[in-house]
Amino acid sequence: MKYTNLPNTNIKVSKICLGSMTWGNQNTEDEGHAQLDYAFNQGVNFIDTAELYPVPANAETQGRTSKIIGTWLKKTGHRDKVVIASKIAGTGDYTAHIRTTGFSKQSIDEAITAELKRLQTDYIDLYQLHWPERDTNRFGIRDYKLDTRWEDNFNEVLHSLNAEIKAGRIRHIGVSNENSWGTMRYLEEHKHHNLPRIITIQNSYSLLNRSFEVDLAEVALREHVGLLAYSPMAFGVLSGKYIKGNATQNARLNLFRNYTRYSSEEATKAATRYLKIAEGNGLSLAQMSLAFINQQPFITGNIIGATNLEQLKENIDSINIELSKDVLSQINEIHNSIPNPAP
């Protein structure tokens, strides 16, 4: 395993971060525990969850994922050996079953209290805002339109999170599904008002969506805000199983037909070309896709997910692969001809 530190801290984390959003829906508690055991034994010490999980989000299953992590922590006694990241859900129709009050002080307090109980711990290492309260370019939206309903509350949110840090319930903070303006606003509030500093940004990043490189990569490198890349496998499209027609009925895109972000004609065309590069260089598409992310200079964690141990092993083993300049050149040639087909 390879390790780095959460930016601006002495907290050592594995570059492979174990994602968990299938646990409690596609995966049982026993399967979640088996994944945690295997990953931990391979040197993975970084686990990502959210109060929203598992996905798809609904009132019946909400919080199950963190409960599964909590029972594993209790069973193994590994709490002091792992770094746990979680998130508070933002506003939106699909999270109204959790709350509708956004990132108010009361919401943050209630969310952390409930998550600590589910995780069976008294602190969370990295606490993230799952997406902005304002409507902006997130979840595949390309064209920006000004949200005139939202009132700037960056300072207020950071004050609320600061109270939680002082209380010892969270250690550090980050954002997710955020853009450059929002990231810089949080950093400015930190600089000018002695408030907590965001240290990570969790955004989608894969061979099919490299939009992070447009401007956020510069923010990440110059401001030392590490990317936690989610959906690095593009909902399994970059495993090649849908292209080859050997995906199981339990595969995400077969179960959840409305998840079409990575299934457009252009995305499929690009993935097919990436598959040829991988096979031509003796690699699986999954490992080439993940190795590409592992090598990026702005990466703090590559959040992998799997529904079985075979997939998990392949994904974790990607840390041992170093892509050559020739392979990277071939990848960039495709990216230049079909840029970001799944934003």
Tell me if the bond preceding 232 is cis, omega within 30° of 0.
no
Per-residue b or e along 164-192, where b marks 16 or more CB atoms closer than 10 Å to that residue's CB: bbeeebbbbbbbbbbbbebbeebbebbee
Q: Which among 3, 38, 53, 230 is annotated as catalytic? A: 53
**Cα–Cα distance between 132 and 178 in angstroms, integer?**
6
Max Cα distance, the chain (Å): 55
Contacts of 301 (CB under 8 A, 6+ apart): 13, 14, 15, 16, 17, 46, 48, 200, 226, 227, 228, 229
Tokens 């392979």 appear where? 327
State the Cα–Cα distance between residues 305 and 147, nearest whole angstrom.
33
Pairing, β 12-14 against β 3-5: antiparallel
Query: Does 53 qualify as catalytic in the annotation?
Result: yes
Cα 158 from Cα 156, distance rounded (Å): 5
Residues with catalytic function? 53
